[in-house]
Amino acid sequence: MKTLLIAFVLIAATSKGNIVQDTVRVNGIYDRHEDGIYYFKGDKGEIYEFHDITEEASEAFDLMDEALVGKLFNITFTLEIGEDDDMEYNTIIGLKLLE
């Protein structure tokens, strides 16, 4: 039990103020890359913003390619929320083309 507590404290101390909340999957249509952020639109009009993409995901699909705009993807990402609960940081970790 002490080992678990120590591990949790170490992870929390080294997380730079962010806590990884969850790994999430959504479907979205790729909209654009602007100012370092990747934008996707959900089927109900919601906008998904992703601040980063892993090397593995970017090797699978180069989102700088304009030909991918308008394509439907299944997006797997990590969601981090800052300590003050008002900043979300989303990182794409997987992409699957659905169209």
- Tens-digit pLDDT profile for residues 49-66: 999 999 999 999 999 999
Percent of the chain with pLDDT over 90: 66
Classified as helix, coil or strand, 73 is strand
- Range 2-97: architecture per CATH: Beta Barrel (2.40)
Q: For residues 33-61, give the mean pLDDT.
A: 96
Count of Cβ atoms closer than 10 Å to residue 39 Cβ: 17
Domain locations in the chain?
2-97
pTM of the model: 0.75
What number is the average pLDDT over the span 81-87? 72
Round the average pLDDT of the chain to a whole number and report it: 84
Tell me, what amino acid is at 59?
E
